[in-house]
């Protein structure tokens, strides 16, 4: 029997809480999460295209952008996938990077598929009573 995955497990909400703490309010952190999720398909496509044309500079730039924003919202698996592909590109292993792209796409697709649940979990976590923000 296949276990169902908890959509909220796609994010480490502690990282998003840290972002909210740094910003002094949950609202900008929640807006950042919404924008992150909205831009996710374009960011992945940018990486795929750059890998396809073997453009090391563009691939690295696109990977760094997604890696850093993923770290900020707590999308740890996406962050790790970006880090792994980035290392492949630095070593000029474009074929390996191309083979790693489906795993990156799978983890970002899971985030997108559970977007409303992720947003709800983040909002509840950052604005719950008894927490830092009320």
Tens of pLDDT along 81-114?
999 999 999 999 999 999 999 999 999 999 999 9
pLDDT at 127: 84
Q: 62 near 47, Cβ under 8 Å?
A: yes
CA 10, CA 8: separation in Å to the nearest integer?
A: 5
- By C-alpha distance, which of 110, 31, 24 is closest to 73? 31
Q: Strand, coil or helix: what is 24?
A: coil
- Phi first, then psi: what are they for 82, rounded to 5°? -60, -45
pLDDT at 105: 97
10 band by pLDDT with thresholds 50, 70 and 90: confident
pLDDT at 1: 40
pLDDT at 125: 87
> Is this model's pTM higher than 0.85 or not?
yes
């Amino acid at each position: 029997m296949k276990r169902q995955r908890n959509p909220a497990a796609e994010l480490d909400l502690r990282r998003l809480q840290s972002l909210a703490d740094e910003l002094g309010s949950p609202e900008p952190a929640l807006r950042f999460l919404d924008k992150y999720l909205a831009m996710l398909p374009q960011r992945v496509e940018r990486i795929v295209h750059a890998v396809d044309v073997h453009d090391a500079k563009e691939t690295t730039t696109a990977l760094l952008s997604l890696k850093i924003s993923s770290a900020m919202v707590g999308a740890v698996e996406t962050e790790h996938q970006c880090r792994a592909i980035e290392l492949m590109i630095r070593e000029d292993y474009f074929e390996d990077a191309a083979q790693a792209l489906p795993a990156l796409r799978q983890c970002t697709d899971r985030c997108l598929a559970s977007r409303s649940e992720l947003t709800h979990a983040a909002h509840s976590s950052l604005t719950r009573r008894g927490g830092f923000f009320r």
